[in-house]
Amino acid sequence: MDPVIHIENISYTYPEAERPALDGVSLDLFPGVFTAVLGANGSGKSTLAKHLNAILVPTAGRVTVDRMDTADEAYLIPIRRRVGMVFQNPDNQIVANVVEDDVAFAPENLGVEPAEIRRRVDAALTQVGMYDFRLHAPHLLSGGQKQRVAIAGVLAMEPEVLVLDEPTAMLDPRGRREVLAAVEGLCRGRGITVVLITHHMDEAARADRVLVMDAGRIAMDGTPREIFPRAEQLRALGLDVPETAALLARLNAAGMHLAADALSPEECADVIKEALCR
Amino acid sequence: MLKDITLGQYFPGDTVVHRLDPRTKLLLTVVYIAALFMVGSWGGYALVFAALAAVTALAKIRPKALLKGLKPLVFIIVLTAILNLFFTAGDDVLFRWKFIKITYTGLDRAVAMVLRVLLLVSGTFLLTYTTSPLAITDGLERLMSPLNRLHVPVYELSLMMCIALRFIPTLIEETDRIMSAQKARGADLETGTLPERARALLPLLIPLFISSFRRADELALAMECRCYNGGQGRTRMKQLHMAGRDAIAFVLGAALVAGILILRRLGI
């Protein structure tokens, strides 16, 4: 299968910065895969995200989206339509003062027919569970609801890839759950490729693939089951491990022999129960 | 505390007046204002008042709400009345006491001017009460769209207006937060002489400005990510449609103007 996004040995240095923010990253993102990107602050995760839809163009190397080079200005709009992006602060992404008008913003920009815009807006709002709020004013919604509106605003472009740059960082636990459930639903239900940049290990544990960034490079790349048992290495990179992985690692250090890759709380409980009953 | 400010003063509803095309309402408001200045007899004022009362009733706006809107204007209205009452020249003296002189012409003028101001303001309030700010912006944009040919960026202007309206509550919230933060550090925003209080506002305004710029930056980025590319080649989800009721509204507007002119001619 062809990757949706192909990244070939890219580097990027911000103007007036000494150290490159990205330093030789190569990566293929395949359709329908849920990828989580982890890394300490300044590790280059957001910079990498901004290369996926041509907000930034690499100083060296090449990024292609469906074989279109992001450095080619002619492909700017087609690339941004295919790769939607959601940011941290929902307040700063919402343009209009009625939910449905905001969701219509992107397809209106693309010159879509009015009837088709209506269909897309309704579909996008339904997908994130915000259809009932379509006539509300955004500033009266909760953080999680606003962020889901922002996601719907991107979905209305019918993108192939959804990039989310710490979308839950400003939300309370309930908002986080709502947003994450919506994102997972889009990936599992609609086959949208998801790239989720996050600081929350439990969010990353639900992905198909985890990338760990450090100093502008990809330090680790694998499934959550491969990555999270390596607690030592993660801590050295300034990251935590999910609570389940941390518990299993401590029990193993205390002399038990448990499978270290049981990440969900249920699996973890099963593994411990089995060991105790043995 | 800042949240109490009501903005736009739009009363949502589903009456005929609410459903009229915003373009119709904007144009009719202009017609109404022009008609008000054509009034030349008391009968004319009565007619305009009747028209206003009819629309208010149709829109199911409580007259109390209209009166409340007039409150901030009391000073201007009183001033208009006093100026006209005392400073109108004329020989038909009604009342004289020392240097104060009130003439019939003056009384006439004062009442007419006060009526005019009241009717003018209430009429424009009716527009904002029954039309959401967004619909007004939308209507204005479409009425102005011929200016596009003169390279006036009509769409960009209306988008700016729309974003400004959208961010008012967000910025009010932010101001509240900064005020609390500064008060927590001992800032005194409420006492002192005027210059002192003005100076005390600086620690409020500077963070607010900085954060607004940061917001603007992020918003611009988010808009670019949603393929914003200027007004060209843009479509709209909501199309405005003139319906039969709009035609009727225009006919009634024309009837109002005709009625005023006839009453003026007859001198009633």
Domain boundaries, given as residue ranges, for chain B: 12-145+241-266, 154-225
Number of Cβ atoms within 10 Å of the Cβ of A156: 30
For residues A37 and A209, the answer to whether their CB atoms sit within 8 Å is no
- At B177, the amino acid letter reads R
Considering only the beta carbons, identify the residue of B219, B221, B226 that sits closest to A109. Answer: B226
- Give the tens place of pLDDT for each residue, B44-59: 899 999 999 999 998 8
Residue B247 and residue B204: Cα distance in Å, rounded? 51
Considering only the beta carbons, identify the residue of B133, B225, B227 that sits closest to A110. Answer: B227
Domain boundaries, given as residue ranges, for chain A: 5-231, 242-278
- Chains A and B form CB pairs within 8 A to the count of 96
Considering only the beta carbons, identify the residue of A55, A97, A113 that sits closest to B134. Answer: A97
User: Residue B163 corresponds to which tokens in the numbers above?
Assistant: 């974003």
User: Residue A38 corresponds to which tokens in the numbers above?
Assistant: 């982890």
Q: Is B93 helix (H, G, I), strand (E, B) or coil?
A: strand
Place of tokens 């953080």: A143
Q: How far is CA B136 from CA A110, A206, B8, B21, B246, in A?
A: 24, 46, 11, 10, 16
User: Residue A2 corresponds to which tokens in the numbers above?
Assistant: 């062809």
Chain B hits for A108, CB-CB cut-off 8 Å, are 234-237
Mind giving me the DSSP string for B223-252?
HHHTT---STT---SS-----HHHHHHHHH
Name the residue of chain B whose CA is nearest to A137's CA: B166
* B99 has pLDDT over 80: no
Residue B159 and residue B148: Cα distance in Å, rounded? 14
Whether A52 and chain B come into contact, CB under 8 Å, resolves to no
Selected from 2.60.40.1120, 3.40.50.720, 3.40.50.300, 3.10.20.30, the CATH number assigned to the domain covering A5-231 reads 3.40.50.300
Residue B258 and residue B38: Cα distance in Å, rounded? 10
Burial status of residue A38 (CB atoms within 10 A of its CB: 0-12, 13-18, 19 or more): buried
Q: A93 vs B239: CB contact, 8 Å cut-off?
A: no
- Give the tens place of pLDDT for each residue, B251-268: 999 999 999 899 888 877
Greatest Cα pair distance in chain A: 65
- Give the tens place of pLDDT for each residue, A90-144: 999 999 888 999 999 999 999 999 999 999 999 999 999 999 998 888 888 999 9
Chain B hits for A97, CB-CB cut-off 8 Å, are 133-134, 162, 165-166
Higher pLDDT, A260 or B58: B58
pTM of the shown model:
0.81
For residue A81, what is the enclosing H or E element? Answer: helix A76-82
- At A163, the amino acid letter reads V
User: Residue B82 corresponds to which tokens in the numbers above?
Assistant: 């006093």
Specify which of A222-236, A255-269, B205-219 reaches the highest per-range mean pLDDT.
Answer: B205-219
> Which residues, including other chains, have CB under 8 Å from residue B135's CB and lie 6 or more apart?
B22
Whether B164 and chain A come into contact, CB under 8 Å, resolves to no
Whether B33 and chain A come into contact, CB under 8 Å, resolves to no
- At B21, the amino acid letter reads D
- Give the tens place of pLDDT for each residue, A178-212: 999 999 999 998 899 999 999 888 889 899 999 99
Query: How many helices (H) and strands (E) would you count in chain A?
Result: 12, 10
- At B169, the amino acid letter reads P
The alpha carbon of A165 is separated from its chain's Cα centroid by a whole number of angstroms, namely 6
The total number of residues shown for chain A amounts to: 278
Number of Cβ atoms within 10 Å of the Cβ of A255: 6
* B220 has pLDDT over 90: yes
Which pLDDT value is given to residue A278?
75
Q: How far is CA A64 from CA A48, A72, A161, in A?
A: 13, 10, 13
For residues A66 and A228, the answer to whether their CB atoms sit within 8 Å is no
Number of Cβ atoms within 10 Å of the Cβ of A74: 9
For testing contact with chain B, the best of A81, A92, A120, A165 (most B CBs within 10 A): A92
Q: How confident is the model at residue B9 (pLDDT cuts 50, 70, 90)?
A: low
For residues A231 and A241, the answer to whether their CB atoms sit within 8 Å is yes
Whether B227 and chain A come into contact, CB under 8 Å, resolves to yes
